[in-house]
Amino acid sequence: MLIHLVNPNTTASMTAKARAAAETVAGPGTRILATESAHGPASIEGPYDAAFAVPPMLARIAEADAAGADAHVIACFDDTGLDAARALTTKPVLGIGEAGFHVAAMVAETFSVVTTLGRAVPTISANLVRYGLATRCARVRAAEVPVLALEEPGSEACDRISQEIARALTEDGAQAIVLGCAGMTDLARRLSHIHGVPVIDGVAAAVTLAEALVRLGLKTSKIGGWAPPLAKSMTGPYGEG
C-alpha cells in the first residue's frame, strides 16, 4: 500500500517531520510517499495563504496518483483544498483536521483543539460545524505560536502549547486534545504523557484511517460535489493561452 502524504506548503523540514510521524504508525507493507508543494507559501496561516497553496498541492496529488498512490493525506490542519482534492481523484483523501476530530470524538466525550495563531481559529471552527462535530469540541484555542516557530530549535513553542493544553483541561473541561497543526506532530506523545490525557496528532490519525479505507476497498464517491471536474479551457499559469 502506498500512502501519499502531501504538505501544501513549501517547507521541506515540516514534510520530513510529518513523514516521520506517518512512518511511525504505518502498518507492515505500507509505504509513505511524502511531498511538499513546488511553489507557494512557506506556511499556511489563514485563508489567504491557503488560496495560493491549493493549485500546487493538487499537482502533487495528480503526480502521486500517476505513481500509484492508494490514498492521499493532506498535512495541513485547515484541510486545505480537501474538496478539490476529492474531486480530482477517486482515491481516498483525508485531511488531518477532519481525521483528528473524528479520532478525538471516539476516545473522549469532549475535546479542545490547540492550534497555532488566532487567525486559524475561524477556519477550524467552521470545519467542526461542517463535519458535525462542533458540539463535541469544547473550544478551539490558539497558543499564538507562528507555524514556522515549530521548526526552530530552542523556541518556546512546545511550552506555550503545553500551557494552552493545561488551560483547556481546567477551563474547558476537555477530556482530550487535538493538536491543530501538522508542525506539532512530534509533540503529541510528550504532551499526552505530561497532561495525562489523549493528545491526538492529525497526521498519525489520518494515515491510520487512510490505511483502513484502502483495506476496506473504499474510494471517493463521484456523485455530487466530488464528481470529476468538467473539461474546460483554463487561461493563465494553470492553462494554455
CA distance 18 to 185: 7
114/167 same-domain check = yes
- Reported as a single tens digit per residue, the pLDDT across 5-36 is 999 999 999 999 999 999 999 999 999 999 99
CA distance 186 to 229: 36
Q: Enumerate the β-bridge partners of residue 137.
A: 111
Over 80: is that where the pLDDT of 153 sits? Answer: no
Contact by Cβ (8 Å): 117, 89? no
106/75 same-domain check = no
182/105 same-domain check = yes
223/175 same-domain check = no
Which of these, 28, 14, 26, lies nearest to 76 by C-alpha position?
14
End-to-end CA, the chain: 39
Q: What domain range is 124 assigned to?
A: 97-202
- Reported as a single tens digit per residue, the pLDDT across 177-207 is 999 998 888 899 999 999 999 999 999 999 9
Which of these, 229, 227, 226, lies nearest to 239 by C-alpha position?
229
**At which residue does the C-alpha cell 477517486 appear?**
90
CA distance 45 to 49: 6
**CATH code of the domain in which 172 resides:** 3.40.50.12500
98: Cβ contacts below 8 Å, ≥ 6 apart = 79, 82, 127, 131, 206
Contact by Cβ (8 Å): 14, 182? yes
128/146 same-domain check = yes
216/182 same-domain check = no
- Reported as a single tens digit per residue, the pLDDT across 44-61 is 988 999 999 999 999 999
134/87 same-domain check = no
Q: Enumerate the β-bridge partners of residue 71.
A: 3
Q: Is 183 helix (H, G, I), strand (E, B) or coil?
A: helix
CB-CB neighbours of 233 under 10 Å? 7
Taking residues 114-127, what's their average pLDDT?
A: 95
105/184 same-domain check = yes
pLDDT for 239: 61
48/133 same-domain check = no
Number of structural domains the chain divides into: 2
105/164 same-domain check = yes
158/192 same-domain check = yes
Over 60: is that where the pLDDT of 240 sits? Answer: no
